[in-house]
Amino acid sequence: MKIAFIAHTTIVGGAAISSTTVIQYLIDTGLIKPEECIIIQNKGKKISTEKNDVYFNLKKTIKFFEFRLPFSLVFKGGTSNFFKKVYRIYGEVISIFYFLLIYNKILKQEKITIVHLNSLVLWPLLLVLPKSMKRVIHIREISNTSIEARIAILVINHLATDIISIDPITDIPFVQSRKSQIIANPYNMTESRRLRAFKDTIKMELGIPPKSLVVSLFGPVGRQKGIDFLIQIINASTQIKNIEFLVLGTPQGVEGEKYIQLLKGYNNVKYFPEQKDTTKFYAISDVVIRCEDYLPLGRTVWEGIFAGGIALVPVNKKDDISVIKDSIEKYIYTYQALDVNSCIEMLLTITKKYPDTIENSGYPISDNVASTSEAFFRVLTSQKNDYHSFLLILIVLPWRTDFECP
């Protein structure tokens, strides 16, 4: 057995943190050895340093390569810019040719038997990876409704050996294939929960009033994550006493920088740049908020809950909330997506229940790393009959497009 872990991104974020957490656990427990795997990351990105590469420490002992990888815009929340979409599709085609001509030879030379694709955006590789290798794809995103997304779902259902989805929502397009399994992301928020007892001290260190309800937004600062909506919430929150906002993340381009300057103008907002260790920030976060126009049950939501806080997430009429129905108004609160009044009303509801701060929401666990990592390993190493449909490849390749379906 030899595994190639293909990473579409190595920067601080849910996908990279989840992947490296699992790989480190598997190595630490002896389930895999460093020489039994390689790491593949995207070529042409910034020079790898401890600050900007979550895989940095792993690559001290694991052999790694830089390949030209695809980044398919088939997920909800991705850019809608036509030219960026065309550029991404061009990159997908180039990547496919590189794999056919160069990279597959490297994988064979390295004696790879299992390939793990760490994101939905890497789906085009399923068209060209050697059929002798087991192909596992990790679905961390909600697919959009574009034609390319529909092609991606078709390809994944037919050509992936196994599919891992992080929750029932991301798993919806793959249930019928019977190849998919739901394995939650790994979280260990034990230290954050322990530090909640010292949150007043930490708040003062960060310049946040001790007796305040902290509402935190973690992630890239830009429209994609709804930062413009958060600013509307901040402006409308004057009626809520003792509320403080914390924003932590890297700006998305020039627009993101402008948002940060705007955030710094508010007395009840604290902005912090991207951090590799977010332990103390989650320790003081009472509410982790998401501001997209759909229900995003991503890593930050569960990190906040595992840390002993609660989450406030948007929903719209099309969202399936059955996955969180048992947690609503216990650990997860919802508001109507992009509706300022709805969000403010829910914040008022939360402050009535928790007028000062949330010491501990009572979520039953704070660490699931062992169980999720071992479940992941079982999927990687399971044996299945694998039928590689070259007919499907011939059907889908001529029809690659990205026009939106009505």
- What is the predicted pLDDT for the residue at 394? 44
pTM above 0.85, yes or no: yes
Element (H, E) at 151: helix 147-159
Q: Which of 266, 318, 308 is nearest to 288 (CA)?
A: 308
Tokens of 90: 């061009």
Domain residue ranges of the chain, discontinuous segments joined by +: 3-186+370-399, 190-353
- What is the predicted pLDDT for the residue at 178? 83
Out of 3.40.50.2000, 3.40.710.10, 3.20.20.120, 3.90.1150.10, select the CATH number for domain 3-186+370-399: 3.40.50.2000
- pLDDT per residue over 230-289, tens digit each? 999 999 999 898 999 999 999 988 999 999 999 999 999 999 998 889 999 999 999 999
- What is the predicted pLDDT for the residue at 76? 86
Question: What is the mean pLDDT of the segment spanning 35-50?
Answer: 81
pLDDT exceeds cutoff 60 at 393: no
- What is the predicted pLDDT for the residue at 388? 46
- pLDDT per residue over 80-126, tens digit each? 677 788 888 999 999 999 999 999 999 999 999 999 999 999 999 99
Q: Which of 151, 105, 145 is nearest to 127 (CA)?
A: 151
Identify any residues that bridge with 188 across adjacent strands, giving them in sequence order. 367
pLDDT exceeds cutoff 50 at 77: yes
- pLDDT per residue over 161-199, tens digit each? 999 999 989 999 998 888 999 999 999 999 999 999 999
Please determine whether the domains at 3-186+370-399 and 190-353 fall in the same fold group of CATH. Answer: yes
DSSP 262-321: HHTT-TTEEEE---S--HHHHHH-SEEE--SSS----HHHHHHHHTT-EEEEEE-TT---
- Residue bearing the bigger pLDDT, 203 or 241: 203
Question: What is the mean pLDDT of the segment spanning 206-215?
Answer: 94
pLDDT band (50, 70, 90) for residue 383: confident
Question: What is the mean pLDDT of the segment spanning 207-231?
Answer: 94
- What is the predicted pLDDT for the residue at 403? 28
Question: What is the mean pLDDT of the segment spanning 366-380?
Answer: 97
pLDDT exceeds cutoff 50 at 398: no
Domain 190-353 has what CATH class? alpha beta
pLDDT band (50, 70, 90) for residue 355: confident
- What is the predicted pLDDT for the residue at 12? 76
- What is the predicted pLDDT for the residue at 45? 59
Average pLDDT, the chain: 90
pLDDT band (50, 70, 90) for residue 39: very high
- What is the predicted pLDDT for the residue at 386? 55
Name the 3-class secondary structure at 72.
coil
- Residue bearing the bigger pLDDT, 145 or 137: 137
